[in-house]
Amino acid sequence: MRTAGLLAGLCALSLVSDARADSFELLTYTPPPGWSTQQDGTGKMFQHKDASGAGMLVLFAGRPGGGPPAEAFAEEWRTRVQPVMPTAAPEPVSQQVGDMVVAMSRSQVPVEGQTATIVFITMVGRGRVQSVLGVARGDAITAQVAAFFDGVKIAPGPAASAPDANAALELDVEAPPGYLSRREAGGLVIVPARADPNLPCNYGVTPSRPSLGSQEADAQAAFADIFAGWRKSRSEDQSYLKKGFAPTGWPFYGYRADIQRGGPQLEHAIGMVMVVPAGPKRVSILWGVGDLARCTFEDKTFALLFHSLRPRGWTADGGKALTRDLVGSWIYSSLGGPSVTSLYQFDAKGGFAYAANATTSRIEVSDTAALETTAKLGQHGRYKLRGNELELQRDGKPAERYRVRIVDEFSLGKWRRALYLLDASHNEVQYYRQGP
């Protein structure tokens, strides 16, 4: 299918790999002859100017992402085009190209007293978003830009980037108290046995799928697939990232965002996915959706769900990762100015020290890690790790047992490490790492 003008090449996009062409990430292409080239972390750019006109082509570096193509197009236009050409994003047209969706537009804007043609395409799929910009002024240059887009192809992706509904589950999980699990065509669904405000989430496990090469990309792709009918909230676009190693050593990566769908009466929710390993070069996805304010990675039902996960075929590492990450100082503090805190300090030889109700001064309210204690650690004892169980033996007191998980959380532009202790009553307390 072809249309007139510069969109002709765009509509000819296909999943073809040409060994004679140059390549850049998802794309293969033929560069315009005689145009200058430069490349940096932003992408690859071609430029040319002569008496007949001027042109520029930019293949932008891709990023993890997904969601509705029109929204990805608008975001890419805002960050890629508007800083150099302050013009509103046009409405794109979209087409499916294999496992990718391409949103594209052609518009005309005044540049240096002449009319320039802008072509912009955004490709969404495989957990990635990548864009290409073309700017042309003058008939001869416009023809060269059109020829460039006519030769752009999308490199073939994995044979099956979406989950197979008939594939076997490779992740065992136990439903938390109050929940029921059932097998459906799309995997396993875990839902409250009855309506209960204390059970704010529905969960599920998808059949395993081919990995895209990184858990971050896998999480973005899974989020786009599972919540295909939703879009991220524009009024409060918050996303949350978590990663780490389970007590038995398997890696995980979590992604959560506020989402909405519908017309005038919008439905709001939290959507989240967590990637865990499956078979060779495959991953399983644990997903959740529910109440906007209370369905979180910190919900106690999610903690129970997490501790029940068993990737099939995974060989435990004997607690090496958990033992390594536990060593150091951890602090719990209520919010506010001078506050009451609890502190733990674990050493590599199985000893720990503890202080409760220690007075602290907050250096930065926005950074829990920047707390200084004025108290001495007054209690000491020994600890043992058995799988995901942490046993604390204080001098002269009965042993305390907690299920433990350590998670790196992305907040305020950086990663910080948190320690979660889940007691026998299913109450979980979060501590943050102090110092390096």
Token couple for 436: 């390096």
Q: Which residues of 308-326 are buried (b: 16+ CB within 10 A; e: fewer)?
A: ebbbeebeebebebbeebb
| Phi/psi at 222 (5° precision) | -65, -40
Q: What pLDDT does 4 receive?
A: 32
68 shares its domain with 150: yes
pLDDT at 372: 44
Q: Are residues 11 and 142 in the same domain?
A: yes
CATH number at residue 69: 2.60.120.1690
Angle at 174 between CA 169 and CA 178, to 5 degrees: 130
Could you tell me the pLDDT band of residue 369, with boundaries at 50, 70 and 90? very low
| 139 plus 276 within the same structural domain | no
Hey, what are 379's tokens?
A: 């209690």
Domain end call among 154, 187, 213: 154
Residues 301 and 401 in one domain: no
% of the chain with per-residue pLDDT over 70 = 81
Least confident span in 102-106, 184-188, 215-219: 184-188
Q: Would you list the DSSP string of 302-344?
A: HHHHHHH-EETTPPP-TTHHHHHHH-EEEEEE-SSSSEEEEEE
Specify which of 96-100, 316-320, 430-434 reaches the highest per-range mean pLDDT: 430-434
What pLDDT, on a 0 to 100 scale, did the predictor assign at position 186? Answer: 76
Tell me, yes or no, whether 159 lies in a domain: no
Domain assignment of residue 84, yes or no: yes
Between the CA of residue 227 and those of 167, 224, 436, what are the distances in Å? 20, 6, 37
Task: Tell me what pLDDT residue 357 has.
Answer: 64
> Do 13 and 149 reside in the same domain of the chain?
yes
- Asked if residue 168 lies in contact with residue 207, where contact means CB atoms within 8 angstroms, the answer is yes
Q: How far apart are CA 105 and CA 89, in angstroms?
A: 9
What is the biggest distance separating any 2 CA atoms in the chain, rounded to whole angstroms?
90
What's the token pair of residue 388?
Answer: 């995901």
- Statement to judge: residues 251 and 383 lie in one domain: no
For the cut 50, the answer to whether the pLDDT of residue 245 exceeds it is yes
> Which residue bears the tokens 């719990």?
332
Kindly state the average pLDDT of the residues 237-264.
82
pLDDT at 261: 74
- Over residues 190-209, the mean pLDDT reads 87
Q: Which CA distances in Å does 169 have to 191, 201, 421?
A: 18, 21, 29
pLDDT band at 242 (very low <50, low <70, confident <90, very high): very high
More confident residue, 123 or 235: 123
Residue 336 lies in a domain: yes
Phi/psi class of residue 34: alpha, beta or left (left: φ > 0; alpha: ψ in -120 to 50)?
A: left
Q: For 136-187, how does the pLDDT look when each residue is reduced to its tens digit (9 = 90+)? A: 999 999 999 999 998 888 877 654 444 444 457 899 999 999 999 988 777 8
pLDDT average, residue stretch 335-349: 74
Q: Let me know whether 86 and 14 are in one domain.
A: yes
Helix, strand, coil percent values for the chain (each to nearest 5): 15, 45, 40
Token code pair at residue 363:
């250096």
Question: Taking residues 201-223, what's their average pLDDT?
Answer: 90
What is the per-residue pLDDT for 385?
92
Task: Mark which of 282, 311, 340 sits at the end of a domain.
Answer: 311
Indicate if 122 and 181 belong to the same structural domain: no
Whether 161 is covered by a domain: the verdict is no
- Confidence category of residue 65, pLDDT binned at 50, 70, 90: low
Q: Show the CA angle centred on residue 403, arms to residues 397 and 408, nearest 5°.
A: 125
pLDDT class of 343 with cuts at 50, 70, 90: confident
Query: Mean pLDDT for the chain?
Result: 81
Residue 267 has pLDDT above 80, yes or no: no
- The type of residue at 116 is A
Domain membership of residue 160 (yes or no) is no
> Do 346 and 282 have their domain in common?
no
User: Total structural domains in the chain?
Assistant: 3
Same domain, 144 and 106: yes
What pLDDT sits at residue 420?
93
Among 262, 280, 311, the domain boundary falls at 311
Q: Is residue 103 part of a domain?
A: yes
| CA proximity to 258, closest of 235, 237, 279 | 237
Is 163 domain-assigned? no
Query: Residue 299's domain is classified under what CATH number?
Result: 3.40.1000.10
- Identify whether residues 97 and 42 lie together within a single domain: yes
Return the structure tokens found at 423.
């007691």
pLDDT-based confidence at 352, cuts 50/70/90?
very high
Burial letters 370-406, b for 16+ CB under 10 A, else e: ebebeeeeeeebebebeebebebeeeeeeeebbbbbb
Question: Taking Cα atoms as reference points, which of 391, 415, 418 lies closest to residue 403?
Answer: 391
Label residue 47 by pLDDT band (50, 70, 90).
Answer: very high
CA proximity to 291, closest of 301, 281, 306: 301
Domain span at residue 27 reads 7-154
Percent pLDDT > 90 in the chain is 33
Q: Is residue 136 part of a domain?
A: yes
Q: Are residues 255 and 294 in the same domain?
A: yes
pLDDT of the residue at 436: 63
Mean pLDDT in residue range 304-326? 89
